[in-house]
Structure 1
């Protein structure tokens, strides 16, 4: 695909300064975007279905080990409409990611996020957050408590991919078995673990250890990119434990090697191979955004470099850009950021 030749014709991705306010502050900073996404979810799934899903999510959340449960309930109360808990805990994304070595010795996280729900690309935001270990840039949505794609300038970048349906066996039966296992789990949701690690891990090695060792409620695939080219890993987490991959650190939505599974999304192996070729060719500036990496469900593309604190994001609807590309640099030791091409009005601090 080609990015727009005139980005000024497309809306900017807002950068929202929320400090340590979490999901409630993020919702308060851009409530109209959250309202549009919830309206889209109600059209797609219906209000009664979302209301029942919220009830089930509340029961599950009451016994899981999420550090952000109170934030989720605060968001649901503020929204006052069905779907807030269900969308926060849906884990429906399929993605393609890589940790690619840079000529300067750093590592860049390349990442697309795919979901069949329209509107996610147009209403994405970047949240500038703070935690005990330093600043964080999260590519996210208003009211969302977890992190699926995040950059900790000077420390690491990390992304979450949906794991495949387990195998062998018939896919529908394996899917049901996987859902039952999730319902029984009391472990932390993986996107909540990512946020917690971004907030508290001082470096990529510590992040790797915590991501590898902490049990999660849903199997997942993580891509971690530090500040040194040796700090590039994918982590496959399932119910048997965690597998670390470095050669190459690329992930789609299937297990590597010969582990039986049912891949998620369209052409998971083809996306993995295309990303591997793009990394080998040293492609940057979204030159790697080509089929099959980009397909009808692609909603976001991200490039994140922890060494320089640089984050680039574009919202997509399939192979069509629906936002202007955002180019944001937060120097690791500098709270001031330089933003292009987003206008000054796109940087919002919640009241």
Structure 2
């Protein structure tokens, strides 16, 4: 007799239907988690620092072209605590991602492999998955309460996409280049890249359209994007910096440095090693590996806060909340019909 597996003692990641309600609706449905994350942010950065950051973000947001500015201002007002704007517009994420073509016998398509790293405790335990609706269909966003953009998203039947933080530009001393980059961000009126990702997830009918829009659309800060469609050929890494956009394939892998000999200062720990490990992960996926077999050092390191596998062709999403190498949530596995889009 086969015994059913014992239930996980770890908390589950909630899946919240918010329709077209955006960040305010997600905040209202997960207020306890939002308060816990803001409390952790105050312990990490202090309330005075967060208040100053909020004021600067509010000034920048007032002249920015994002379509989600009103959502951000409403979230900040609804929380009534420092940090809501600062965390939404921090642009401090470091990550590793790849688009790995699947074997036909495993359902085909392309699996987006993704970790997100940030040195703030509590993000892994505070994860939620938001189910959104837009003109092009349904979207699953791996996110946090009150967060307006999308850093990791799945549009079943269309594509999956993830955002990585770009390196600091180079050459030259790292602190000096960081200041130059920040001045450029402050002067920009283009939307944040995570807001662009949400808009494209909600409105792009297919991966080719998403690729074109990601290539052409301006953003306020350099970024690295990984896009995985429903066909094995639809796997791209998109690098956007101050000079333009570069599209890379074979392999479509990203960490936190540019994928060619372009001078830069990589972010996170061992960015080059993480990219090499993701290339090996693609080879393992093509050989039939599954269930986060790729989630190991150096991809996994103390700042890791989540891991994701997403396949648009099959409509599957798997999410694990992490605090470094330690799992802090039960593993979430969803399957959404890839044939329910086209609202």
TM-score (norm 2): 0.95
1:107 aligns with 2:110: yes
Partner of 1:58: 58
Partner of 1:252: 255
Deviation at 1:8, TM superposition (A): 1.6
Deviation at 1:64, TM superposition (A): 1.0
Q: Distance in 2 between matches of 1:257 and 1:183?
A: 27
Partner of 1:284: 290
Query: 1:207 and 1:110, CA in 2 relative to 1: closer, same or farther beyond 3 A?
Result: same
Alignment of 1:1-351 (within 5 A): 8-104=8-104, 105-282=108-285, 283-334=289-340
Q: Distance in 2 between matches of 1:334 and 1:271?
A: 36
Deviation at 1:7, TM superposition (A): 5.3
User: Unaligned 5+ residue runs, structure 1?
Assistant: 336-351
- C-alpha deviations, 1:60-84, integer Å up to 9, x for none? 0011110000000000000001100
**Aligned partners of 1:18 and 1:129 also within 8 Å:** yes
Deviation at 1:6, TM superposition (A): 5.5
Deviation at 1:284, TM superposition (A): 2.3
Deviation at 1:194, TM superposition (A): 0.2
**Aligned partners of 1:303 and 1:312 also within 8 Å:** yes
SS in 1 for 2:8: helix
Deviation at 1:36, TM superposition (A): 0.5
Q: Distance in 1 between matches of 2:276 and 2:217?
A: 29
- C-alpha deviations, 1:76-127, integer Å up to 9, x for none? 0000011000000001110000000001231000000000001000010000
Moved over 3 A (4+): none
Q: Distance in 2 between matches of 1:333 and 1:290?
A: 34
Deviation at 1:257, TM superposition (A): 1.3
- C-alpha deviations, 1:43-73, integer Å up to 9, x for none? 1111111001001000100111100000000
Deviation at 1:331, TM superposition (A): 0.5
Cα RMSD between the aligned structures? 1.0
Q: Distance in 2 between matches of 1:54 and 1:252?
A: 28
Q: Distance in 2 between matches of 1:192 and 1:274?
A: 29
SS in 1 for 2:55: helix
- C-alpha deviations, 1:114-171, integer Å up to 9, x for none? 0000100001000000000000000000100000000000000000000000000000
Deviation at 1:333, TM superposition (A): 2.6
Deviation at 1:247, TM superposition (A): 1.6
Query: 1:7 and 1:121, CA in 2 relative to 1: closer, same or farther beyond 3 A?
Result: farther
**Aligned partners of 2:310 and 2:316 also within 8 Å:** yes
Q: Distance in 2 between matches of 1:256 and 1:306?
A: 25
Partner of 1:340: none
